[in-house]
Amino acid sequence: MLSWELWAALLACGAAAGFLAGLLGVGGGLIIVPVVLAVLSAARLGGEHAQHLAVGTSLAVMVFTSLSSVRAHHKKGAVDWRIVRGMAPAMVAGTLLGSLVAGWISGLALRWFFVAYAYAVAAQMMIGRQPKGGREMPGAAGQGMAGGAIGMVSSWVGIGGGSMSVPFMSWCNVPVHAAIATSAALGWPIAVSGALGYLYSGWGAAGLPPGSAGFIYLPAMLALMLMTVLLAPVGAKAAHRLPVARLKKAFAVLMTVMASQMLYSLLRG
């Protein structure tokens, strides 16, 4: 059972994740995964499957967060649905494959991968250097390759892929606000396919805590979902008014701290 302090931590995490997902097109899962992992650890739940549960739960939450965020962006006419149609099918395939493969990857290996990815994202945001737009969006084959790779990596980290899809679209001359909005739309098929994959790959696994559906911890999912759905539209609206570049640097500092805490726990054993 979770204490009221752990419930409060999940609600606060959901509020921050939802706002950042709408604001930056990235960030929801990168915050949710370490917080869910910490909650499970504090409650002595999950055991060797704690990282799988954190990633699966994050993807399940993102199903609702992405939908809420993209609705707000769509109302502003910022989503490029041609890109969504071009990349989403391969993203779904990559995410499904990655989430099924994750069932055979150790929780320790997934944690190391998450730490490395979080540091890479934080460094990119802190430097603030976006790829120079030197070309148009590639054709169907190029979009499929990019979508498949983004989907697979997302399934191992528990994110909607925005930290990869936004820079990719920026490199292809997609305006930043359109890239953020389109990334939110692409996050939904990633989240759905990833959540289904973790549901299947974890079904019947030994040692899962009560309230789990495969590698999804339902109590945490519900608490996080409530807050992310409420705050994602707020972040989406704020994306058109706030200094996104400065907020990304602040988010990079937060990611560095959270990744460092996870790294410390890994090294401590």
Chain segment 158-193, per-residue pLDDT in tens: 988 888 898 888 888 888 788 888 988 999 999 999
- The pLDDT-based confidence of 25 (bands split at 50, 70, 90) is low
CA max distance for the chain: 53
- How would residue 143 be classed by pLDDT, with cut points 50, 70 and 90? very high
| Helix, strand, coil shares, percent, the chain, to 5 | 75, 0, 20
Assigned token pair, 128: 């603030």
Per-residue DSSP letters for 151-205? HHHHHHHTS-SHHHHHHHHHHTT--HHHHHHHHHHHHHHHHHHHHHHHHHHTTT-
Are 124 and 162 in contact by the 8 Å Cβ rule? The answer is: no
Kindly list the distances between the CA atom of residue 187 and the CA atoms of 100, 192, 194, 217, in Å, as whole numbers in the listed order. Answer: 18, 9, 10, 20
Cα 100 to Cα 58, 142, 157, 158, 227: the distances in Å are 16, 24, 13, 13, 28
pLDDT at 246: 77
Separate counts of helices (H) and strands (E) for the chain:
10, 2
pTM, 2 dp: 0.89
Residue-wise DSSP of 192-246:
HHHHHHHHHHTTT-TTPPTTEETTEEHHHHHHHHHHHHHHHHHHHHHTTTS-HHH
CA distances to 93, 134, 161 from 255, rounded to whole Å, are 28, 29, 16
| Residue 40 CB neighbours (<10 A) | 23
6: pLDDT strictly greater than 90: yes
pLDDT at residue number 26: 63
| Whole-number average pLDDT of the chain | 89
Produce one character per residue of 231-263: b if its CB has 16 or more CB atoms within 10 Å, e if not: bbbbbbbebeeeebeebbeebbeebbebbeebb
Cα(27)–Cα(16) distance, integer angstroms: 9
With a cut of 90, say whether residue 20 has pLDDT above it.
Answer: no
